[in-house]
Structure 1
Amino acid sequence: MFDEREDCNDFSSSIENSTCPSPQTSIMESVERLSADEKRLLQKTWIIVSRDLNDIGGKIFEMIFAQSPDTKTLFPFMKKTSHGKNEKVSKDIQFHGLRFMQIIESTIKSIDNPRDLEPLLDNLGRRHGRLTERTNFRPHHWSVFIECTLFHFRVLISH
């Protein structure tokens, strides 16, 4: 058995020093360049992160909305809310968060063959690209999304 915490602490510190791929480098190319040790570390870390996909996904989106309230306008289910917390909206947040986490899970499961994900990610990119054209999506939303995701991953890894 491996020591999840020790390896994942290494991963957590490597997240701090990581950089996003350049525009000339695709996500697929970045995944293909991962070393065997980096892939193993991601897989071990995912064991911890994935223990409750629904909960963590919902928390990520709730934090995104709290950190950047203007992102609420990007999601049709958030437009339904009037005053206070709406149970239907909360379930929609959980569901969207779960779908997000499932995409990450698919990536981890296909880490040795990332090109297998191209059809899924291409479709996802096209759908989100159309949404970007029709909404008030701003480039800073990406950094909010990434930081909220990494925050919750770090919390899970450190416990």
Structure 2
Amino acid sequence: MLLKATWSDEAEDLSNLGIDIYMYIFENNPHVRTLFPKIHQHWENWRSSKEVEMQGYLFATTLARVIENIDNIELTRPFLYKIGARHVAYAKRGFRRNYWEMFQDGMACVMTNRIFNSFNCHLDRVQKNDAVATWKKLAVFVINNLKEGFDSASAIAK
């Protein structure tokens, strides 16, 4: 209930959520931006590039699919696994398994800020704290499944 209460499927909200997550990652780990050549090419203006908007939207729609299936979350495991497996191709650019932790941190941080600063004024403080804890658990679920896919594909690629 708390996940759905703190979620918006509107395209603009999804785009902003994804951008905020990538902003968190790039600002806290600037070297990661080099893994995204189409974003990195904008150097100083990367924040306003269409490429970061698209990348953010893609990540947010992944979360949207998980939220859509929250009542039967096991259905999302193969979906997340495949996404994780596809990221083995980015290892040539420097992507490493531990980079998933940045996404987990970014999701937790961005959702915490949204819950306490912009969304759902109808939730009391205890509900907001519970929502944050639930989002952190969901972030762990998502990232663990991405890692599983990445690890399996990495083992096959060797």
| TM-score computed with the length of structure 2 as normaliser | 0.62
Give the match for residue 129 of structure 1: 88
Pairing 1:65-84 to 2, within 5 Å after superposition: 65-82=26-43, 84=44
2:45 alignment partner, SS class: coil
Match of 2:62 in 1: 103
Q: Does 1:154 align with 2:112?
A: yes
Structure 1 runs, 4 residues or longer, greater than 3 Å off? 47-51
Structure 1 pair 51–158 and aligned structure 2 pair: CA distance change class (3 A): farther
Retained in 1: the 8 A contact 2:39–2:46? no
1:85 aligns with 2:45: yes
- TM (norm. structure 1) is 0.61
Q: Which moved more, 1:112-121 or 1:65-74?
A: 112-121
**Larger Cα-atom Rg:** 1
Q: Distance in 2 between matches of 1:147 and 1:96?
A: 17
Q: Structure 1 stretch 66-75 or stretch 47-56: which is displaced more?
A: 47-56
Give the secondary-structure state (helix, strand or coil) at the position aligned to 1:104.
Answer: helix
When residues 58 and 99 of structure 1 are mapped into structure 2, their CA distance, relative to the original with a 3 A threshold, is same
Check whether the contact 2:39–2:49 (CA below 8 A) recurs between aligned residues.
no
Q: Which segments of 5 or more consecutive residues in structure 2 lack a partner in the other structure?
A: 118-158
Deviation at residue 98 of structure 1 after TM alignment: 0.9
Q: Give the Å deviation of 1:150.
A: 1.4
CA RMSD of aligned residues (A): 2.7
Please give the secondary structure, in 1, of the residue aligned with 2:70: coil
Aligned partner (choices 13, 21, 41) of residue 60 of structure 1: 21
Find out whether 1:46 has 2:7 as its counterpart.
Answer: yes
**Higher helix proportion:** 2
Q: Does 1:116 align with 2:101?
A: no
In the comparison of the two structures, how many residue pairs are matched?
117
